[in-house]
Structure 1
Amino acid sequence: MAFLKKLGIWIISILLSICIFTLIFGTFTNIDIKEAFGDIYGYADKDAQENLNNKISFYCDKITDMQTQADSLDVSLEELLKQSGSRGEESEQTMMLVKVCNNFNDPSIPKREFFISFMDIMSGGMPETDKLLEDKNSPLADSPITAIYTKIKNIWKPFKISLPILVLILFGVLFLFFMHEPKEYLRYVAKMFLRTGIWLVIPFLILLIWTTISPINTTPLMETMSQALPSEDGSMPSGSPDLDMGKVFFMMLPIMIKQIYPLVVFLIGVFLILIGVAGLLGVKFMNKPSSEKK
């Protein structure tokens, strides 16, 4: 009987841990392509940022000149673009760039945010992560990452609302095993919170140590993006920029891990550790009077 009780407690504990982890990561993890582009800009050195900003400035100056020309001819920029033979997509892209470029010299808008908007338009619109992975024509369509992501997403959808209720039910079932030992129940739950919190904190600390020893540096990526744009004299680059995809992977890996393990997950882990420690101290305090009597 004691063995069955221990087995039941162990099974419920495993299920609870899985449910809590799924609930936390399903709620707070968000892989955002636009934010990843922002991190590419943010983790590059100042020279690479400045070089790219200068090239973007050249682009914006060209568009401003076109707008001035349109005004002098008393026609809209869209009309001028049609007259010059621009295709529909090019015309639409230029019109979108006008709005972005008008904010280029606005000091209240960080250059990082401007870079995201500019790259969003130049790339034809960055798709949302879900749409990118679900698109059959996407280069990621047949990748193992897509298969795993899709499976997790399909599992998560029906559990999004029911999972918190399931967690409460499992805590209730666990209590039945300790019905006559409420202090033991509190001690067991406190230990579970402590373990869960530690497992949430450890990956974040590993990432922190990793990025402290080897800081994220996306300068090569920024330089490649800069090389792909026309220079300030208007000349187009010759050939395609050369960049080792292996290096790109290791540059982007910590950035993507940061999105999987956001700061809020670390804070939840710390919170669970504090609850666990407080619970264990509380149980110890409750047991103290009885031990003194003995």
Structure 2
Amino acid sequence: MSTRLVRRTLLSPSWCSACRSPRHTRFEIGPLVAAHLSTSTSSPALHASKDQDASRGPRQTTRAEEYLASLRAAGFEPSLKDIERCRPRKHAEPSSVAYITQYNDLLSTLCHSFSREQLKRFAQLYGLPAQWTRSNKRKVHFAEAIIEQQWKWPSLKEAEKLYRDSTEECVETFPVTPSQLFLILGKDGADLLQLSIGYKVHIGLSSHPLALRVEGLRGDISELTQVIKSLKQDILEERYHLPTKRPIRQDLLQRISRLAGAYVENVDQAGLVKGGCSKQSKN
């Protein structure tokens, strides 16, 4: 099956069978999911998916929808208790394809079961902020507001990001100064090794320009980015004039740095040196 046929349609115009809105879309399998599933043209997962779609036939009504239909027939107006009947007890992991299916099914159920005005009233009864209950919003927007703002389901945009973070590998480069690199490395590189193990990434060193090169899953690198940013901000660099007015011998610089726990380097030949250390260690 070609990956061109299995692609994302999020935010692309299409008609919704539930609310007949040209702006309502269903989030289908994105290109990353397609690439993951289509590792082989004879993938059992793809064939199983096709067979399931073919065998599902017309959409079956749920007990909640049948109950709401009986309310309409009797002339009763549904309450919050009634819409809560449509609320699933739990959902799949947001980073999975199953979550996308569950979200779309729930959205379709709400749009089939309630009118635009009823969904708007529910949003108001839930006490959602005015931005989610404005009169100019469409039926599907009220349903999405209830699902995401009241029932706390991640949006489809968030779900796609979580999927990408958990499956897509990437490479990031973090420029560093010599003193930053010294302190991030730790003694004999122990601190850097712990970062690599803790975030399940490979960390290498680039010398021109000086930088850390990190390879791994997008989500893990995103977390590590914040850690490296924090470490760099915690580093204090200062300059000192030595009373000897002479530079430190090159063979002593590394030894002094290791003993002091701070990176030390000569700036000129007149005894000006630069040191970098953690703000916490200085305090």
TM-score bin, normalised by smaller chain? under 0.3
Q: Point out the structure with the larger helix share.
A: 1
Q: Point out the structure with the larger strand share.
A: 2
Normalised TM-score (structure 1)? 0.20
Task: Name the larger-Rg structure.
Answer: 2
Q: Which has the higher contact order (CA 8 A, sep 6+)?
A: 1
Normalised TM-score (structure 2)? 0.21
